Amino acid sequence: MLILGLDPGLNNTGWGLIRISGSALSHVGNGVIKISREKELPEKLSLIYQSLLAIVESYSPNSAAVEEVFLNKNPNSTLKLGQARGISLLVPANYGIPVSEYSTTKIKKSLVGKGHAHKEQVRVMVEHLLPGCIINGYDAADALAVAICHSHYSSSKSILAANLKVNK
C-alpha cells in the first residue's frame, strides 16, 4: 500500500510517500511545494492544487493523510492555512483516495512517544524508520511523519476490523 502524507502550508506544503509491505515501511519520495510569499492567495492555492495533482497522478497512492490545522494567534492566518489544507484534502478525494486527518500531537506521539516533541526529534525518528531516506526539509519530514502515523493507525484499524468479523 502506498500512503501520501501531506503537511499543508501556503508557502511550503510538505509531501511524503511511503510504502507499507506487511509491517515494513519504505520511503518512496518526499519534497516541498515552495511558493513565493509575494504571490496572491488565489495563485498560491492554484499552485498547491496543480502540484498535488501532479504528485497524485505520478504516484497513484492508495491512501492519504493530512495534518490538521493548529490555531494561530492570528485568526486570518488560520483561515488562509485552512484553505491550503482544504486543497490537500480535495485533490486525493477527487481521485477516490481515502483521506484521513491527524492532529500534530497525535502524529508526534505516534512517532516519538511525546505529543509535544520538537521538529528535530520528529525528523530523526523519520530517518530511523525510513533508513537511507534523504529528507528535503522539515516540511517534507513532517509529511513523512503524517504518512507513518497513518500507517500505524490504519494497520490498527484493519486488525481490529478483522478481529471483529472473526468474533461475530
Beta strands in 103-164 (DSSP E): none
- For 33, half-sphere exposure in the C-beta direction (CA atoms, 13 angstrom radius) is 25
Q: What is the pLDDT of residue 69?
A: 76
Q: What is the pLDDT of residue 71?
A: 64
**Dihedral of the alpha carbons of 164, 61, 32, 152, in degrees to the nearest 10:** 20
Catalytic residue among 43, 68, 139, 142: 139
Q: What is the pLDDT of residue 78?
A: 83
Give the integer Cα–Cα distance in Å for 104 and 116: 9
Domain membership of residue 119 as a residue range: 2-166
Could you tell me the CATH number of the domain that includes residue 100? 3.30.420.10
Given CA atoms 150, 156, 160, 162 in this order, what sign does their dihedral have? positive
For strand 2-7 and strand 63-67, is the pairing parallel, antiparallel, or unpaired?
parallel
> Cβ atoms within 10 A of the Cβ of 105, count?
14
Distances (CA, A) of 75 to 42, 81, 83, 135, 141: 18, 10, 13, 31, 26
Give the integer Cα–Cα distance in Å for 33 and 142: 13
Overall pTM surpassing 0.85 (yes/no): yes
Catalytic residue among 38, 43, 67, 68: 67
Reported as a single tens digit per residue, the pLDDT across 45-103 is 999 999 999 999 999 999 999 999 776 677 888 888 899 999 999 999 999 999 999 99
142 part of the active site: no
Determine the length of the chain: 168
pLDDT bracket for residue 166 (50, 70, 90): low
pLDDT bracket for residue 10 (50, 70, 90): very high
139 part of the active site: yes
CB within 8 Å of 89: residues ≥ 6 apart: 66, 99, 101
Give the integer Cα–Cα distance in Å for 136 and 139: 8
Query: Assign residue 5 a region: left if phi > 0, alpha if psi is -120 to 50, beta otherwise?
Result: beta
Q: What is the pLDDT of residue 89?
A: 97
Of 61-65, 74-78, 142-146, 154-158, minimum mean pLDDT range: 154-158
How many domains, in total, are found in the chain?
1
